[in-house]
Chain A
Amino acid sequence: MLKFIVKRLFWMIPSLFAVSFLAFVLIQLPPGDFVTTYIATLASSNEVIDQNTAAQLRERFGLDQPMLFQYLKWIWGIISRGDFGMSFEWQQPVSGLIWERMALTLVLALASLIATWAIALPIGVYSAVKKYSIGDYAFTAFTFFGLSIPSFLLALVLMYVAAVEFGADVGGLFSQEYETASWSIGKMYDLLTHIWLPVAILAVSSTASLIRVMRANMLDELPKPYVTTARAKGLSEFRLLVKYPLRIALNPFISTIAWLLPNLISGSVVVAIVLNLPTAAPLLLQSLMAQDMYLAGAFVLLICALTLIGSLISDILLALVDPRIRLE
C-alpha cells in the first residue's frame, strides 16, 4: 500500500511537467505575442511604436528566444524561487497577483465540493433504495433540472430576480467596505454572507450528476445475491445498506473527485465571470485575451496542479476502500 502511494506520488512529477508544458504551449498557440497585442492596443489610442522599440521590448521579455528555451527559463524560475515571471499587463511580478485569487478559487471549489458531497450521498442512496417512490421522483426531477440548466444561466436568472424583485446586488464576494481591507473576522463573516450564492449555483449541477451516479451504482448493487443473503441473515435494512452495497457503490463515487474538481473549477470560471467574483477566473480570461502569458500560464499551471492532486487523492482512496482494485 505504501509502495503504491509512493509510486503514485513519484508519477505526479512527469504529469506536472506535462501539464505545465501543455499550459505553456496553449498560451503560445494564438498567433502573435504580447508585444503585437501591446502595439495594437497603443495603435487604437493613436500611439505608434517603431520597429526598434518593438524589438527591444521583445528582447527584454525574452520573446525572441526559441519557445523551448522560454519554457525552461519559466519552469526553472518557478521551481528554484517560486518566481512565475512578470505580468506584462500589470507591470508587476505574477506571484504578487495570483495567490489571493487562487486561495479564493480554492475556497470556492472546496466549499462547493463539500456541499455537493453532503447533499448528493444521502439523496442518491435514498433514491436507489426507494426506487420509484414519490421522494425518488421528486429528487429525480431536481437532478434533471440541475443537470439541464447551464450554471451561467442560473447565475443570470438569480441576478435578475435579485435585481428586479429585491433591488439587491448579489455580485462579488465581498461588500464594498471589505473589498480592499486586510483579512479580519469581519471580512471572513462578510465572505460567508456572499459565498453561499456561487456555492449554491455550482453545487446544483454537480450535485445533480453525483446523485445520478450514486443512484446508478446502488441500483447495480442492490439486486445482487449478497444483499439477499444479508437480508436473510436478519440484518436490519439500514445496517445491511451501510455495511455492504454502500461500500461497493462508493467505489465509482470516489473516482468522481478527480473529475468533479476540474468541473467545479471550470464551472466556477463562467459563474465567476457572470457574478464578477474576485477569483482567478476573470483575471485568467483577461490575461489570455491580452496574451499576458506568464500570468495566464501561472493560473493554468496552478489549476491543473490542483486537479492532479484531486486525482491522486481519489486514486489512493479508491485503493483503500476497494481491496479488489490492486493495480499491481
Chain B
Amino acid sequence: MVDVTITNDRPDRVAVASQWQLIWWAFKRHKLAMAAMVVTVAMYIVAIFPGFFAINDPILQNARTTFYPPQRVHLIDTTNGFEIGLHYYPTKLTRDPETLAAIYVEDKAQKKVPIQFFGRGYTYTVLGLFESNIHLLASSDPSKPLFLFGADRLGRDVYSRTVQGAQVSLSIGLVGVILSLLLGIILGGISGYYGGRIDFVLQRVIDFVLSLPTIPIWLAMAAALPQGWPATLQYMMITIILSFTGWAQLARVVRGRFLSLRTEEFVAAARLDGVSEGRIIFRHMLPSFSSHVIASVTLAVPAMILAETSLSFLGLGLQPPTISWGVLLREAQNIRSIATAPWLFMPGLAVVVAVMALNLFGDGLRDAADPYNK
C-alpha cells in the first residue's frame, strides 16, 4: 500500500505547516489530479471567454455548408519549398455516384488558407461588458470559413457552438451546487447532530425528496414554464430546479457522518468542556468530515452538468437559441443524422472531458483533504 503521505524533506516545515498547506502538498503528489485541475481551469477559462476561442459566429447559418465535414488542418506545407504554419485548403464538392450524398474533397489546386493567431473575426461581447473581434484562431479568408468539428444541419460551426455551449453548461453546475451545498449542510447537520424527533422529520423530508424521480418533475416543471421567458430567467429556474433535488443527497451524506461522529470521544469531551453547540458543529465536527463533503460536492458539480445535458437533450431543459451542450446534442438525436454526420457527437465529447476532469480533480482533493489521517 503506497499512500500519498507527506514526506517532505524538511520535517520541521511539516510540523508547523497549516492544514491547507499540508493538503496542497499532498494534492501536488497526485499527478492525475493535477492534470485534471489544469484541464478544469482551462475549461472554465474557455467558458468565461467563449468568443475569443470560437472561430466562426456560433449562430450564423449557412445553407451552403449543411453537414459540412470537419476540415483537416495542416502544419507543414511542401508545395513550394518548405513552410511551417497552420493552414487548410478549401474543399471541392463532389457527389457519390450511387447515393448522391455530398462528399467534400480537399482541393489542393486552390490556394491554401493560413490560420492566424490572434486574428480578427466576428464581433463578440465579453461577459456583456465590452466588445472585441480578436480570436485565438482566425481564418485569414472569411469567405472560406474553417470548420474544425464540421457543421450541423443548418450549416453552423459545431466547434464554435461547442465552445460557446461551455459557458452555460459549466456554469449551471457551479451555481446549482452552491445552492444545494448550503441547504444540504444546514439540514443534514441539524438532522444528524440533534437526532431524535428533528432527525426523524428531516429524514422523512429527505426521503421524500430523494424518492422523487427527477425526470418527470422536470417534465412537469418545464411544461409549466412559460415559453416566452428570456434565456437568463429560464437558466435561473433550471438551476433552482436542479438544486431542488440535489441538496438531499448532500444532506444524507452529512447526516450519516454526524450520526457516527456524535458518539466520538472528542465531541463528548468538547461538550463536557461546555463548548457551545455551534462551535462543536463548526469547529470540531465539520473539519473531520470535510473530505466527505468535498467528495460529494465534486461528484455533484459534474452530476449537475450531466443532468442539464440529459434534460436539454430530451427537450425539457434549456431551449434553443440558448446554446448548451445538451441543446447541441439534440441535433444528434436520431440515428439518421448521426449516421450522416457523426461529428455531431463532438459536444458529447466535451461533456465527457469536462465531467471527467472535474471528477478526477475532486478525487485528488478528496485523497488530500485529510492530511492527518495517515
Contacts and interface: CB of A to CB of B under 8 A. Distances in A.
Contacts of B302: 147-148
Interface string B328-350: 01001101001100100100100
B213 A303 contact: yes
Contacts of B356: 144-145, 147-148
B149 to A, nearest CB: 16
A262 B214 contact: yes
A266 B219 CA distance: 12
A118 interface: no
Contacts of A251: 256
Interface stretch (B40-48, B65-73, B123-131, B200-208): B200-208
Contact of B2 (A18, A27, A131, A152): A131
A11 interface: yes
Contacts of A311: 207, 210-211
B260 A324 contact: yes
Most chain A Cβ neighbours within 10 Å, of B220, B263, B352 = B220
Contacts of A284: 216, 219
A223 interface: yes
Contacts of B363: 140, 144, 212
Contacts of A144: 356, 359-360, 363
B1 interface: yes
Interface in A149-171: 149-153, 156-157, 159-160, 163-164
A153 B339 contact: no
B215 interface: yes
Contact of B220 (A150, A159, A288): A288
Interface string A263-281: 0011001100100000001
Nearest to A162: B335
A229 B204 CA distance: 39
A28 to B, nearest CB: 9
B280 interface: no
Nearest to B306: A150
B224 A29 contact: yes
A299 interface: yes
B158 interface: no
A234 interface: no
A308 B211 contact: yes
A289 B223 contact: yes
A288 B359 contact: no
Interface residue SS majority, chain B: helix
B355 A148 contact: yes
Contacts of B368: none
Contacts of A27: 220
B253 to A, nearest CB: 8
B256 A255 contact: yes
A241 interface: no
Interface in A1-32: 11, 14-15, 18-19, 22, 26-27, 29-31
B263 A150 contact: no
B339 A160 contact: yes
A18 B211 CA distance: 11
Given A11-B204, A131-B3, A150-B306, A303 B345 contact: no
B294 to A, nearest CB: 11
B14 interface: no
Contact of A26 (B199, B211, B217, B360): B217
B180 interface: no
Contact of A150 (B211, B295, B310): B310
B314 interface: yes
B332 A223 contact: no
Interface string A112-134: 00000000000000000111100
Most chain A Cβ neighbours within 10 Å, of B207, B299, B355 = B207
Contacts of A288: 216, 219-220, 223
A30 B199 CA distance: 34
A159 B335 contact: yes
A29 B223 contact: yes
Nearest to B30: A132
A266 B215 contact: yes
A270 B313 contact: yes
Contacts of B351: 148-150, 153
Nearest to A219: B367
B80 interface: no
Interface in A162-200: 163-164
B249 interface: yes
B59 interface: no
Interface in B252-298: 252-253, 256, 259-260, 263, 292, 295
B64 interface: no
A316 interface: no
B67 to A, nearest CB: 15
B164 interface: no
A289 B218 CA distance: 12
A14 B201 CA distance: 12
Contacts of A291: 223
B263 A324 contact: yes
A29 B359 contact: no
A325 interface: yes
A102 interface: no
Given A212-B299, A308-B211, 4 more contacts: A29-B220, A156-B333, A223-B374, A289-B219
30 contacts: A11-B204, A18-B208, A19-B212, A29-B221, A30-B224, A132-B3, A145-B356, A147-B302, A148-B352, A149-B352, A150-B313, A150-B351, A157-B348, A159-B335, A160-B338, A212-B295, A212-B299, A223-B374, A259-B252, A262-B212, A266-B214, A266-B215, A269-B215, A285-B219, A289-B219, A300-B216, A303-B213, A303-B216, A307-B210, A324-B260
Q: Which 7 A-B pairs have the closest CB atoms?
A: A148-B355, A148-B356, A30-B223, A26-B220, A307-B211, A29-B224, A269-B215
